[in-house]
Amino acid sequence: MPQERLSLHTIREILRLKYENHLSNRAIARACRVSNSTVGDYLVRAEHAGVKWPLGENCSETDLHQKLFPEEEKPVASERPIPNLEEIHRELSRHGMTMMLLWREYREKYPNRYGRTQFFEHYQDWNRSHTTSMRLPHKGGEELEPGYAE
């Protein structure tokens, strides 16, 4: 859950105390009753956004929030298609092939697509819906499984 953003009054007070009174982040945090890391975060955001003190009378809360918290462009679902899960399943049957190797190959090909966790989850969901038994896949002669009889 994202943290609730501070009001315009509190942000103005943080900037005023920093640039007008030259107080430390800890002193500002005590005065505004917020955490030290929150003060530091807002000061860094203000510096990156080019927000200077004094803000000006016409600076609205929405304008300031848009400058401090620019919207990151999230890729549309069509830009991140699901990998070919049947091909991944076939590749996993090869000797020495692992999900991690397949994911690394996938990331080399498509660096801005799914991360490791999502890649693995997509395959696990697909595999769960396409597997009907609890059969353990193995190749004959690869391992010896002795049967114990009395």
Q: Are 126 and 85 in contact (CB under 8 A)?
A: yes
Cβ-Cβ contacts under 8 Å for 35 (sequence gap 6 or more): 29
Residue pair 107/70 in contact (Cβ under 8 Å)? The answer is no
CA distance 146 to 88: 31
Tens of pLDDT, residue by residue over 75-99, are 555 566 778 889 999 998 889 899 9
Q: How many residues does the chain have?
A: 150
Residue type present at position 73: E
Look at residue 148 in the predicted model and tell me its pLDDT: 74
pLDDT in the model for residue 78 = 54
Amino acid found at 3: Q
Question: What residues does each domain of the chain span?
Answer: 8-68, 77-130
Q: Which residues of the chain have pLDDT under 50?
A: 1
User: b vs e for 61-89, b when ≥16 Cβ sit within 10 Å of the residue's Cβ?
Assistant: eeebeeebeeeeeeeeeeeeeebebeebe
| Predicted pLDDT at 1 | 43
Contact 92/119 with Cβ under 8 angstroms? Answer: no
Q: Which helix (H) or strand (E) holds 65?
A: helix 61-68
